[in-house]
Each structure stands twice: as structure tokens, then as C-alpha cells.
Structure 1
Amino acid sequence: MLQVNPLIRSLILFFAAFWVINADAQDAGRKTISLNDQWEFHKENGSVEKVNIPHTWNDQDVLDDVSGYYRGLGIYKRKLNLDESAKGKAVFLVFNGVAQEAEVLVNGKLAGKHIGSYTRFIVPISPYLNYSDDVIEVRANNRFNEDIAPLTADFTFFGGMYRNVTLLITNPVHFSQRENGSSGVFITTPQVSATTASVQIKSSIDKPSTGVKKVQLLTTVFDARGRAVASQTTALNLVNGNAIYVQDIKSIKNPELWSPENPYLYRVVSKIIDVKTKAIIDQVSNPLGFRWFKFDADKGFFLNDKPLKLIGASRHQDYENLGNATPDALQTRDIELLKNMGGNFLRVAHYPQDPLILEACDRLGILASVEIPVVNTITESEAFTANCLNMQTEMIKQNFNHPSIIIWAYMNEVLLRPKFSNDKPRQQIYYEHIRELAQKLDDLTRKEDPSRYTLLVNHGAFDVYNKVGLTKIPMIVGWNLYSGWYSGAPADFAKFLDRHHKELADKPMLVTEYGADADPRIRSFLPVRFDKSIEYAIQFNQVYLNAMLSRPFVSGGMAWNLADFNSETREETMPHINNKGLLTIGREPKDTYFLYQAYLASKPYLKITSAQWKERGGVADSAYASCSQPLQVATNLLSVELFLNGKSLGVKTAIDHICQWDVPFVDGNNQIKAVSGENSDQIDVNFQLQPYRFADQIQFKNINVLLGSKRFYIDEKEHQLWMPDQPYRTGSWGWIGGEPFKGTNNRITYGSDKNILGTDNDPIYQTQQVGIKQFKFDVPDGEYELSLHFAELVGGETKEALAYNLDNNHKKEVVEQRIFDVAINGVSFMSKLNMAKDFGYTTAVKKKTTITVQNGKGIAIDFNAIEGKPVLNAIQLRKIY
């Protein structure tokens, strides 16, 4: 298992230990201090360890080969030392994210509770403080609870106190901290145009003591340079309790409009001022962006009266080997990567995320939608409904003032795996409950924020969602479409878009998800569905982008996903990781990311792709001292010229933003340069040339071959390249007899999608040649090291069909006895090999030996069936001398 990168670990410690003090507010009646350091943590009945926040207890166990991960109680404790100056103040603990049920105790007394993993909550703690050696305890629990969403999903439900924790100290009179985790100030722009704008500010103020206090509420709008452009002062007579006060500013002329090209931010500073002393009692600051927008069912999306195609991605919050406990700098970097890609939209999915995300969207000009985690299924209980409504309220109020947000969403693929499939009358009742919940959430959203749109996201079962009525409720219908991946062909995607426009002519639409798995270690020159190759993902995304960009009624599309993310129940080529990201889980760009830059860049763009594939290999073309392989360049230019070691390979015209050449790679270093006008890119490719025939002049060193495969695999740890197999050719190498393994269910037609135990190199073992008779190497005399790789792909534990496999109709596996002998050059090597019995199902087996080749006989490995069909998954040969 990989260890956390030292640089990332340093970032964690830095952000955890650093006390962040809000300098603008220190003399303004409030103080905020980070409490991310000096915590003690233990699981229920577990040992105590010292940790910093952000922290999760699932950063490692979600990646192992053991099914499941710890879902239970985790206890955090910390001392809090406040001096006398805090007495008489209002003291709060601010939690940005605790998964998923939280109890907060101060000095052993319950101070507050919260339900839900993904929204902020604020706990008042003044009544419980001793102001000397106070102890804070947070009891977090990520257990399954049928009354709390999400219930099931294609992502991991990490536990822990995984976002920043802050101590907030205010005067007794302050902007309310009881408004669902918000700042207590809510800003709208009732009227905006290029010439004038108005601002309405609703301020919620708390005054705990009896009597009347005279204050002024001063609200000032500052431009990006810090100049006051408008202000309003309101005299208030505060009485005991909470009250909301409304101010209207209608005097802002020629506002600078906010847009992705010009994300101009104003700042609204709200102050409560003591009338007698003129002292600032409390102060908060919020962003303000002037923009207006609309969705049109025929013409798409408009921002500030200009058409804008929304193209971007969805995002999950976890990071490589850190789980969801992601440091601030890495959070912000995700939005920078989306912006650098050319994206203008972020679907914050499938839950509200760290406040830094929307702050970055405001600052960088990324439009956004946010949603609560009602995913796949619901519970028909009053408690589940109440929790969902509360989550929606918290999400809206906490993020209300972000100009980047244009959509509030509340459901995702909720009919994907409906309950009661064997009881249709009961299922109709279940559907009715789903529809009722959707309507309640939509009504609540429109009431809380009439200025934005509502969105409900469906998977591609058009008829089902239409019949249940879920296409009628939201203002925008979102579709998660995977034609050509989970089902159908890529060409079906455009047909679906046209059907929506015809049958739901009054409903604006967004393509809220689309994508194909793209394991950056897998490449193919013959890409096919389910091979997980980068090349298939490139073709897939080209089809989808072309279809969306050519249809005005499609308001936009969000690639699934910005980056790979953890999904513990997944197996496949990289177990526990969903590989559909445009970036790896460590945020390295894939070729698909470069493709999006080519489609979306406003400036000339040219990029040689294959960023992860600079160590190549292949068999020489006939007796030539080179091997021709395709190489692609992503560009928004009309044509590109390619050079190999200074020699031109010609000019190619870009087709769907890709130029491709067959490059005759030579053994060793190959300098590749792409040029178009003043634009160029250059890489060096180290190529290992394999001889066409072993008798050729090209020196043979070693070879790694995948059986039953048409894809290459890059073993990044050992810097080895695995090649596709070939049938035996005289004078060369290859298999004799058999056919590629075809999978054991109706969905997967390429290899196996099972987790191979005992290896991190699952793709080596997920394909095989079934019924193989012989494998031959016609190598010259010498000493060789031979390695054979096996795994039994049929049988083992029967697992539930996972929800994300949209047409995952498993055939029942027919498990047959498989026993065979293996002989090398006529000498027995393995007798009565029974992989399932001897090693276990889906378990990596590697057998290595040395061979002396004499008298020009080469190497012949024979597979002799005793019961069933022999198999071979992979083979390696290395010349010793």
C-alpha cells in the first residue's frame, strides 16, 4: 500500500497546526482561532493517538483487500484554555464537517448535536465553560443509519472530523450563529443590469440579555480595490432574542459584472455599532457578484444576456491516501485545475463541500451547482425526510451569498436501484414517497431562494423518471448518461439528447454526468469498451463533447469526474478507485484533461498527449529497426507538424481536436516535437524495441506479455511495460491454442472486473488465454529467467451487483474444475495445478524459474489439461546472459 507523500503530509501538519486569526475582525467584536491541532483520537475501544484536523479514520482501510471499512464511533478530545477576557462573551465551536452523526461535549456535558456529514454546524459553548482547563469532546459516528442520507452510493462514506474546526468568540450582541451554520447575513441582487444594480441585505442579529440596546447596522459595499461604492445605516433598538433586519441599497451605478471571463467580486461588510460608544460590536464580510442568468429550454444558458455553454466537471472531495481529510491548499488547487482546463462550471457532487471550494469558484469565475446527498435510494420515514429538508436548508443558507452558485439540487439517480422490485404495488407506493420528498425539497428550495434554479438529477432511464413524475418537479432536469460505457454505444448519447428536447420541450436540461473509466496505466491501439484504456476514453469524450456543443438546447455538460475518487466497493483494474476522472486521484492530468483543454482553450493550444506514457515498447516492424505506433497531439489549431529526432513526419489536420501520426520509434531515446506556427510542444520517449524475430540484429533483453489482451499496462512501481500478446510466429514468440477470457457477466466483455488479491497490478491478472496449448519463445541459446502468472477468474465470493453498473445483469458463474500440468521444454514444471484449490480464487500467482537454452531449441511451455481448460494470464522472459 502506498504511503502518504511527505510533501502532502507536511501540508497537512502545516495547516493543522497554524492558528488562523481573522485580522479584519480582531478589533471588530469577534475573534476566530483555528482549533485544528492538539487532538487525541481513538475509535470505540481503540488505542489513543495524537492527530491534527482534518482527520479521517478511513484513509487506509478503504484501500485494502478486505471488504468493508470501519463505520462506527470515533472520539476526539482536546483541551481549551481561554483567559479571563472570554468571560461575558459568546463562545462557539464551528465545525465545517464531521461525518456523519456528531455529539459535542464540553467538560462532559452535551453542548450540541448534528446530523449529516457535509455541512457546517455551530455549537454555543459559553454555558459549559470553566475558563480553565476546559475539555472538548467530539463523538463522531459514520455508522449506517437508515434515516440519514446518503444510504448507498458509488463513493466512500469516510468517517471523522475531516474539515477545519474553529473557535469563535463574539460579543453577546452579534450576527446570529443560529441560522443553520450561516454567517447570519443574506445578500440578494433584486435588479442587475449593465448600468445599475440594487442589493438587498437581510441581517439576523442575536441579543441574549433583557432590555433595549440601541445600535446602528452599517452595511457597506466595497469594490475589488477596497473603495466604498455604497452604504446604508439603519438605527435599531434591539430587544431580547433574535430579529431580522432588511436593508435595500439601490444606488450602484455601472456595476462591474461577474462572469467566468471577469470574476469581479465586490465585498459587503456588515457592522453592528454601539450608538453610545461608537465601538464596533460585531462585523462580518461576504462576497458579492453582480450577474443575472437564465436557462432556456430551446436556447440553453445565458449569463448577463450572453449565451454561454456550461462545460466543466463534477468533483468528489477525497485525495490520494488522505481520504476526505484534504488540506486547504489541495482543495483550492482542484478549482484551479478546473479553470486551467478551460472549464466554467463545477457540479459540487454529491454533497456540499468545504467552504474553500465555492470561495475559489467565486474568485476564479466557475459557475456551480450544489446538492444534498440523496443518492440511489431513500428511506420512507419522517426522520429521513426531516433530515433531508434540514440538509437542504443548511446547504442553501450556508452558501447563499456565493455569486458562483446558480443551481440548488437535491436528488441523484434515486430510481437507479428501486426497492420492492418483486412487489409492484408496493413499489408504486415507494415511488410516490420519492415524488413527495422531491416536491417538498423543491418547494423548500424555491421558498428559501427564489433567485436560483432547482435541479433533480436522473440516470438514463427516461421512461421511468417521466412516469414517476420526477421530470416535472425541478426547474432543470439533469441526466447522467453513459451510452457506450454502462450500456449501449456512444452514438446513443445524441439520440437521448434529442428525445429530451422533443418530449420535454419546456424543460431546460443539463448533462450532469458522463464518462468512461480511464486507468492511466492502460493504453491501447485497438480500444474497446471496458478495456479501461485512455484511448477509449478519448474517443468517448470526443463524441459527447461534439454532441453537446452542437446542440443549443443542451445548457451544458459536466464530465464525471474532475479527478478519480475512492469507492470502496469497486474492484476493476484499480480496486476501490473510480477511474473516470480527467485527473488521477493524485491530480496528475490524463490525456482526457488535455483533450478538454484543446476543446475549451481560448488561446492557441497544442499538447503531445500520453503524459503518463514516456516509457514505451513494442515489436519491430518486420526486420526494420523501428516500431510504428500511433501518437496523438491535442490542439485547437487547424493542423500540426510532427518531428521525430529532427525529421518531419508530416502535417496532420486536426479531427475533433486530435492529430495522429504513426511514429516509427527506434530503440532508446526518441525526441518528439509538435509544431504549429509559433506553438510547439516536446517530449522524450524512451522506447524498448523488441525484435521481430529473435535472429534479427536487435538485441533481446526482456519482455512482459499480457495474455488474452489487446492493451498495454504500465507498472509504475517497477517501471515495467506489459505488452499485448500475439499468436505464435516462427522465429518469434506467442501463444498457441485457446481464446481470450470473455468475462462472467453480461456487462463486462473484456477480461475480468474482479479485485485480484495479493497484487497492486490487477490488470496483469485480469485477462488470460483460456484453453492455451503452448507458449513459445524462439530465443537463441543462453540463460533466461522465466515467470508465469496465473489467477483463477471464475468463482469465489458472490457479491451483490453494484448500483453503478446500470445494466449489470450478472449471469450465474459456472464454476468448473480446472486442473492442468505445466511443462517447460518437455520437463515438468508444475504438476496438477489447481489455482482455486491451491491459492484461492482471484488471487495472483507468480511462478519463476531459470532455463538454459541449448542447441537452438528455444523455450516451449506446454499446458496439458487434466480437467477443464488450462489458462495463462501473463508471462515474462528476461535474458540473464
Structure 2
Amino acid sequence: MKSISLNRFFFFLVFSIPFCISAQKHTERELILIDKDWRFSFGHLYDTQKDFNHATGYFSYLAKTGYGDGPAAPAFDDRAWRKLDLPHDWAVEQSFSEKASFSHGFKTAGKNFPEKSIGWYRKKINIQETDKGRIISLKFDGVFRNSKVFFNGHYLGTEESGYNGFEYDITAYVNYGGENTIVVRVDASMEEGWFYEGAGIYRHVYLKKTNPIHVAENGTYVTTEIKENNAEVTADVTIENKGSYKGMIEVVQTILEASGKQIATISENTTTPDFYKTIHYTSKLQVNDPLLWDIENPNLYRLVTEIKQDGKIIDHYETTFGIRTIKFDAEKGFFLNGKSVKLKGTNNHQDHAGIGTALPDELQYFRIKKLKGIGSNAYRCSHHPPTPELLKACDELGMLVIDETRLMGINDYHLNNLKRMIERDRNHPSIFCWSVGNEEWKIEGGIVGERITNVMQGFTKSIDTTRPVTVGISSGFKSGISSVVEIMGYNYLGNGDIDAHRNEFKQQPGMGTEEGSTFATRGIYFTDDAKHYQSAYDKKPRPTFYSIEEGWKFYATRPYLAGLFIWTGFDYRGEPTPYGWPSVTSYFGMMDVCGFPKDNVFYLKSWWGNEPVLHIMPHWNWSGMEGKEIDVWAYSNCDEVELFLNKKSLGKKKMEQYGHLEWKVKYTPGTLEAIGYKNGKKVLSEIQKTTENPENIKLSVDKGNRTNSNVVVVTVETTDKKGAHVPTANHEITFSLKGGKILGVGNGNPTSLEKDQFIDNIELLPITDFEEKKLASADSNQKVTDSEDNWQEAFKDRDYKNQAPAYVYRGKFDLKSNLKTNTVTFFYKKIGANAVISVNGNKIAPSTEDDQKYAFNTSVLKQGTNAIQIIAQPLQKLKEWDVMNTDPGIIQVITPSEPWKRKLFNGYAQIIIQKEDNTNEVVLSAAAKGLNAGSLTLKK
């Protein structure tokens, strides 16, 4: 083994998202969120016609610049498409099917569903005439996956990865002072991972404007070295010039405290880089008596980088960072700011109940706060780069992070993805380790894995010298990757002899990058394979996997191991191990997909936190089991726990460190009470009480929400007449909301096949069998009957130099249903002037706001085949090469969704709501058969 001593300090500082204050006149940089008001429609994986005939044009988008066709063409009519805001995950909106992907939670999206594997997004934006001379870019934080982006018909590029952020310069293509069209085609037919990944533009999109001379994208790198009571800050800045200016510029670097107080500044002149070149500029600044970033006090600073030209500020770029030291020691574990810290981590994917992967920023904070609440201090991004907002939440809340790339390899695709991740994320103080791979079974134990790891590890160090590198390994800890990786990542202690590996490689620090992998269903205390229920008692799940308690005891009692990362913090879609259909989510989480705690949470709180903890399980509603023994467990960090049933003591027991306590109790309705003692004194009590029947619906704001958050997570439950929570209730609750919108619903049930989202169904119907006939008069109001002869295929062999005064067109469209609640609209695409539209012989007037939009009343429609007629004067070609529109338009049928609803699961459900921007009050109402309705009012 190439031993590596890490008894040195890794110094470092960190970046959140660089952002700008566009309202200030002194800066030319703007970063404008453009998530609002996109149009969306499904295309098709292989049926070109259903993919709006994209890439069928004579030149198309690759043959000649600017010839994006189909939806990629600026003039494409998308009025009938669905209107939505980003982030958006179309997979979560779909139904479930046994034929769908096991790993992606059986959602009907992806390659097996070609009609739901391609998504088109379009948005119109205006860019001012005054922006001429600036560099204009589109910035995407992540699109799943294989996205093609077009701007004003110009193909900008393809990003295969579903996790990388990317940016395109659109300066040359902009229609200044007018309308511009952004188009994104997303192909989610291929899976990157073996877990739910969503589909679509599920992260933010920005319009960026800068001076031609500016700080490059992710162009700052801040490191620190602590000397006695001071910190020397090294601020490396990459400056890019996309203009013709040659001369001197001034670079001003300023450090601000969180309050905004300036504490250090430095200025120096430097030569502007040449056209389309960059320079690296480095400043040294000193912070006296710095406030260190750590888990309890996540103190942050801001580096403000200003570029001045002739005394005027032309760029203003802000970088959030923290000052702290990290160290891995092969004998003593991990140190943060010189203090020993045991890593108490969890692995997590990026989806949440009802939302999928399109998480609002506030939900990132919600989830990190939930993990902090169980005593966790570390988060592993499994197994891909996260959203910038997650890292920002970890910086601000004090959560250590392992940041992980998606694929191992040594070629440009792999190393470029790794580079982009590191350069984007290396200023975050929360990140203490880079991971370049996970469970690569094909290569883990051999020379290929060793070679790849050496390259990726060295490549990582060339970009960031301040952090070590790890790989999660699960196929044995003997050779290959394990012998060369800087920090050994043990995935499951049952997969090899960790102590033996450590004894052979004593200079190699290690940590449990995955451990636990237990099965549990929240609120279930008897395993029932027929129902796909796994008991919540912490038991060894499989011979080579260990319980949460066994895993923590192993790592907690070995100083040389830095800590562990439990698989997982939250349940997630996909991998419904140990079952399959109809289970659609995992069973591994310490919390379910909503963030409701399973009982293992209280074991971890007992030994991960500093506050006294006492929790007893199960609940005490066991009608029909009177006289039968129930296993009662206590999780606590008290010295002793005494259990009482209806005030009768069942014995006091001493708590073993990192353990739990058990009693066998014959069920009798009433009150089960536990009392915890420290130093012989009562410090805590916990009660499980037999409740009465549920009577009321209770709605409450979850404690994980941030104050004044625009997105609110609401807990739904039922109570009995005394106000006690009923843990066995499974009522279906129906919701309504005023002053906002519902984003999603969930309940944590791994077998629930209920909808996550209730959205109106939009069906687009083509006009078929489209025929035409010449008319002798230009009168568009003349009456023509379908029985007459001489009809022919519309526009076929049309002589545009010798057209009739008018034409009558006829076609058909089929309605699967003709519900009175449906909204049926014809979006006419102009095929002639002064058009008159009739349906089933009834003349239809155009809309008042759009004279090419026609609302069809259901009274003139019928289920099945409907006839449409258009009489119009022909359009004339102005130039011989003009391409004339031959598409009469599209019929849009909107079927309103049913009301939002969700069944409770073992007493709980969750609803996520978003407040409207211009409302002072949001009212959520909930109703269910046989229960008193509930209501929750939220003030702005």
C-alpha cells in the first residue's frame, strides 16, 4: 500500500452560490431567476410525429446554425401546452405500474414509457436593448437528463449528466429589445442511478448578465490557514475577458462578517486578460480572531470581489465561506478545529414525498434540520452532486458533507464532471471530503480500480488541496481501491474484516461510508410479508448486514474509525428492498419519505445528542390482543429506566451504553409509562396511552419549517375527543387551499399507490383527415355542407401563384369523453385570413383576448368523432422560398383533477403548500368521512 499520513491539517474556506445584487447601480452583474411561467409538453422517444416533427427539417438544428425546428423553432405555437413553474419533476406526477422501473419507484416514466420519457420546455423572455455589450448566459443547476438547449432556434449544446450544472453563452443570439425563446428538450429515457432520479428541469434556471470582463463561473477559490489567533485568507480569483478591452483593471477583495461589517480589504491593479482568455489573481487577507465554522456555530463570512475599470465597478461577485480546520488521524479519527468529532452521518438521495426531486429551497433546509434534530452532524450525497441549495443549507445549519461524483473513470467525461463538481462546491465549509466512487464491484478489488482511483485522487488534489478523497467500498477490504484510497470508506462491516484491514494499513484513516441498512416501516411493530410490513424494532436485517445499534456500537468503540454514515436518513423512492411491487419506496430510512421519525431515530438521539432522551415503543392501541405479550423497548441515555403499566411497576433496568432496554408486557388497555433516572433522580417520563376513537383532524406546521418560509410543510393527523393523537388511524383526508397552491402530499407508506400530485390532465388532439375544397367567393361566412364533392387532401400540390379566392377545410378530432367539467379549446394556427370556425355545424366565435383561440362549449361537442370546418381566404407567398403553414392547429382538452387527498398512514400524513406572492393569509382545510374537519390559517 502507498501509505498516506494525514496527521496534518487541511485548511479551507467555502462558497455558497455566488450572487449579485442587481438593484445596485454600481454593479453590472445580474443573476435573474427565471423559474416562472414555462410551457411544458411531452414529446416522444421514437415517434417523430409525436415529437412535434423535431429534427425533420431540411437543415434542422445540426446542419445549419439557427435552424432549430419543431418546438425548437422560435415561432412554434405552444399556447396549448401546460403552463408551470420550475423546478419540475414530471416523473413524480405519473401513476405507478408493475411494468415500470423497480429502482425508480415503479413510476410510469422512462424508456418503458416512450410517451413519458421526452419532455419539452419553452419560455419567452425579454432582454433590453441596454444589455448590448454585456455577456448574456443561461445557467442551469441541473436537468435530468440528456438535455438539449436551444435559444432563438440556435442549438446551444447537450448535457448528458442529470446532476451537473451547466451554462451557455447566448450573447450572439439575443434579440435585444424584443422577445427571445428558450427551449429545452429533456430525454429521461436512460437511468443514471439505481434509485429514483426524477425527470425534467428539476433544479433552478437563471439568466446571467455580466460585463465582458468578469469573474468566471465558479471563479473563486478561498482557503485559509490559521496562525495563532488569526486566519490568513487566500482568495484566488479567475478573471475572464470576453471583450476587446486591453489595459489595466483594479481588483478589490473585501471580507465581510455575517452582519455585513467589513473586516479586511485589499486592492491591486493587474493587466486585463486577452480576448477570451483568463487570468488567475490571488490576494492575501487577514482575519483577526476569526469566528470558526463548526457544527454548533456555523459562522460564515463573505468575500466580495469587485473589478474596476477606470475607477468604475464593472463586476461584483460574492462568495460565502467559512474558516475552519479539518484533520483525519489514522489512530484517533476526525478532528474539526482541533477537536475530536465522531462523524454521526446519514446517506441520502434527493427526493421527498409528494415532490419527487423538484425540491423547493425551503425543503432542503427542512430535511437538514430534521437530520440535525436526531443528532446527525454529517451528510453523504448519495451518489451524485447535490443541489447548490442543499450545500447552502448545510453551511448555514452546521452539517458536514461528503460530496460525491456520479461516475468513476479517467477520461474527459468522468474527470470533467468531477472538476465541475469540485470547482462549484469547493468553497463550502460544510464539505470535508470528496468521494470519487461508490461500490464499483467490477473494479473494487483489482488493479483497474487501483489505477482509476490513483488518477481521480490525484486529479482531485490538483483542483482542491484542502480536503481528502474517499471511495465507498463493499466487496471486501483487501486490495485494489482499498489499498490506495486516501480515506478508506467501509460500506457495511459484514462485507469484510475492518479490524484486519486497519491492522494491515495502519496509516490509512477510515470511516463507515455506509452502515446499517435495516428495514423498518414507520408505526408497524409486527413483520407481515403479505402486507409488505417490516417491524420497526431494530433487528439484524440480513446475515451480512447489521442493525443500527450493532453498527453504531462497532464504530463508536473504535477511536481509529472517524465515524459512520447510516443507510439512510430518509426513505426514498425505488429500491423497495426486501420486497418488490407493490412496495414503491425503500425501508432503510431512519425517517420515512415525509421525514416522520421511525423508532430508530430515538436510539440515535439517545447516543448522538447531548440532551436527555427517553422513548418507549410501541404505541398502546392493540384492541383484540388483550393478554398477549407485547415487546416494549426503551431508547434512552438515562442511567436507568423504570416501566409502569397502569401505575404498576414492571421493573427498573440499567441502561448499557449504546444499548436499549426490553420488557415483555401482557397487553392491557390503559397507560404505559416509562421514567428515566440519572444519578438516582427522575429526569424524564414518557407515556404511551390507549386512545379513544378518532374524532378530529389536526393540522399543524411541522417544527422543521423555517420562520416565515414561503413553502410550508404541514403535518396531518387525527385526534380523539381528548386531543390525543391516534397512532392507528388511516382515514382518507381531502384538502382544499386558499391563498396558495399545494405542491405534494405523502404519508410514508411504502406500499401506497396513491397519487403524489393532483394536476389537471391536458390532452392535445390533432385534427385528422384534413381536406380542402376551393370556393368561388372570398366570403368567409358562406355556408358549405360536407356532402358536396371535390374534397382533396389539404395543401397537397397547392399552386400558390394561382389560388382560389377562399378555401373550405374540414377535419376530425376524437373526444374520449365529453364531460361537462372539461374545457375544450381550439388553438388555431393561421392557415388563412378572416377564418370562420365551425364545429359539428355550429359556428364558434374567437376569444376576446386571442382571435386565434376558440373555446368549444361541451354542448356542441359529442363523445367520439367531431367535425371541424374552417373557411378562410388563402395566405400568399411573399417569397418563392417561403414555407407556408399547413397545420390548422391543435385541440386542447383539460380535465380537472379530483380534489387533493391522501390517506393517513399509522396516524400521519403530510401536505406541502406554497404561499402565493401577493397574499396575506393562507387557509388550508381538511375533511374526512366521520371526522370533524380541520383548518389551519397561515399569515404572511
Does the alignment reach a TM-score above 0.5?
Answer: yes
Task: Please give the root-mean-square deviation of Cα atoms over the aligned residues, in Å.
Answer: 3.1
Equivalent position amino acid for 1:320 in 2: A
One-letter amino acid matched to 2:684: N
Q: Choose which of 683, 691, 704 in structure 2 pairs with 1:686.
A: 691
Report the Cα offset of residue 403 of structure 1: 0.9
Contact 1:460 1:481 in 2 (8 A): no
Is 1:581 aligned to 2:589, yes or no?
Answer: yes
Counterpart among 347, 372, 382 of residue 314 in structure 1 = 347
1:565 aligns with 2:572: yes
The one-letter code sitting in structure 2 at the alignment partner of 1:601 is G
Do residues 407 (structure 1) and 447 (structure 2) align? no
- Aligned pair in 2 of structure 1 residues 451, 757: CA closer, same or farther (>3 Å)? closer
Q: Provide, for residues 343-374 of structure 1, a one-character-per-residue CA deviation record: whole Å limited to 9, x for no partner.
A: 11111110011111111111122111111122
Pick one of 646, 651, 660 that aligns with 2:662.
660
The residue matched to 1:462 in structure 2 has which SS? coil
The structure-2 alpha-carbon separation of the partners of 1:391 and 1:199, relative to structure 1 and needing over 3 Å to count, comes to: same
Cα gap change, 1:534/1:74 in structure 2, threshold over 3 Å: closer, same or farther? same
* Count of matched residue pairs: 625
**2:304 corresponds to:** 269
User: 2:467 — aligned with what?
Assistant: 452
In 1, are the aligned partners of 2:234 and 2:283 still within 8 Å (CA)? yes
Moved more, 221-230 or 652-661: 652-661
Paired position in structure 2 for 1:520: 522
Alpha-carbon deviation of 1:718?
5.8
Matched AA of 1:33: I
Post-superposition Cα deviations, 1:465-489, rounded to whole Å, max 9, x if no partner, equal x1xx211332111121163xxxxxx
Give the deviation of 1:397 after TM superposition: 0.2
Change (3 A) 1:687 1:504: farther
Query: Secondary structure of 1:248's partner?
Result: strand
2:355 partner amino acid: L
Going from structure 1 to structure 2, the CA distance change for 1:531 and 1:140 (only over 3 Å counts) comes to closer
1:499 offset after TM fit, Å?
Answer: 1.7
Query: Which residue identity does 2:491 align to in structure 1?
Result: N
Partner of 2:324: 291
Deviates more, 1:84-93 or 1:385-394: 84-93
Match of 1:546 among 545, 553, 558: 553
Deviation at 1:116, TM superposition (A): 1.0
1:533 maps to amino acid: S
State the shift of 1:23 in Å: 6.2
Of 145, 160, 166, 2:200 maps to 160
Matched, 1:471 2:478: no
| Structure with greater helix share of residues | 1
Aligned-pair CA distance for 1:501: 1.2
CA positional deviation for 1:638: 0.9
Distance in 1, Cα, partners of 2:339 & 2:397: 19
Matches within 5 A, 1:185-264: 185-189=220-224, 191-239=225-273, 240-264=275-299
Local SS of the residue matching 2:596: coil
Per-residue deviation at 1:433?
A: 4.5
| Change beyond 3 A, Cα 1:114–1:238 | same
Is the 8 Å Cα contact of residues 620 and 671 (structure 2) preserved in structure 1?
no
Between the aligned partners of 1:475 and 1:586, the Cα distance in structure 2 is 36
1:620 to 609, 622, 626: 626
* Correspondence for 1:136 among 182, 190, 195: 182
* 1:534 alignment partner in structure 2: 536
Structure 2 SS opposite 1:98: coil
- Tell me how far apart the structure 2 counterparts of residues 222 and 43 of structure 1 sit (CA, whole Å): 47
Letter in 1 for 2:558: R
TM-score, structure 2 length as denominator? Answer: 0.62
Seen in structure 2, the aligned counterparts of structure 1 residues 759 and 336 have a Cα distance that, compared at 3 Å, is closer
Residue in 1 that maps onto 2:421: 395
The answer to whether the 8 A contact 2:432-2:468 is kept is: yes
What's the CA shift string for 1:398-417, capped at 9, x where partnerless? 00101111111111111169
Secondary structure at the residue paired with 2:158?
A: strand
Residues 67-216 of structure 1: matches in 2 within 5 Å? 67-68=100-101, 69-71=109-111, 72-131=117-176, 132-144=178-190, 150=192, 153-177=193-217, 182=218, 184-189=219-224, 191-216=225-250
Contact kept? 2:295, 2:399, Cα under 8 Å:
yes
Match of 2:497, SS state, is helix
The 8 Å contact of residues 640 and 675 in structure 1, kept in 2 or not, is answered as yes
Deviations for 1:561-615, whole angstroms, at most 9, x for unmatched residues? 11011126864486231210111011111111111111111122223344xx464
- Seen in structure 2, the aligned counterparts of structure 1 residues 682 and 416 have a Cα distance that, compared at 3 Å, is farther
CA contact 1:90–1:169 (8 Å) conserved in 2: yes
Q: Sort the Cα spacing of 1:196 and 1:756 in 2 relative to 1 into closer, same or farther, 3 A.
A: closer
Shift in CA distance, 33/346, structure 1 to aligned 2, threshold 3 Å: same
Which shows bigger deviation, 161-170 or 679-688?
Answer: 679-688
Q: Deviations over 1:776-835 (max 9, x none)?
A: xxxxxxxxxxxxxxxxxxxxxxxxxxxxxxxxxxxxxxxxxxxxxxxxxxxxxxxxxxxx
2:374 maps to which residue?
341
- The superposition leaves residues 643-688 of structure 1 with CA deviations (integer Å, 9 ceiling, x where unpaired) of 4445544433223342334445434x54646454343333433399
Task: Quote the Cα distance in structure 1 between the aligned partners of 2:443 and 2:100.
Answer: 21
Could you list the runs of 5+ residues in structure 2 that have no partner in the other structure?
A: 1-18, 44-49, 52-79, 102-108, 112-116, 541-545, 694-726, 733-749, 756-940
For the residues of structure 1 that align with 2:624 and 2:442, how far apart are their CA atoms? 43
Secondary structure class of the residue paired with 2:203: coil
Question: TM-score by structure 1 length?
Answer: 0.66
Distance 1:573 1:74, change over 3 A: closer
- Paired with 1:21 and 1:43, the residues of 2 have a C-alpha distance of 35
Alpha-carbon distance in structure 2 between the residues aligned to 1:616 and 1:630: 12
| Identity rate, percent | 27
Q: Distance in 2 between matches of 1:477 and 1:200?
A: 30
Gaps of at least 5 residues in structure 1 are: 1-19, 379-383, 419-427, 484-492, 622-626, 689-713, 720-754, 761-881
Q: Call closer, same or farther: CA 1:522–1:353 in 2, change over 3 Å.
A: same
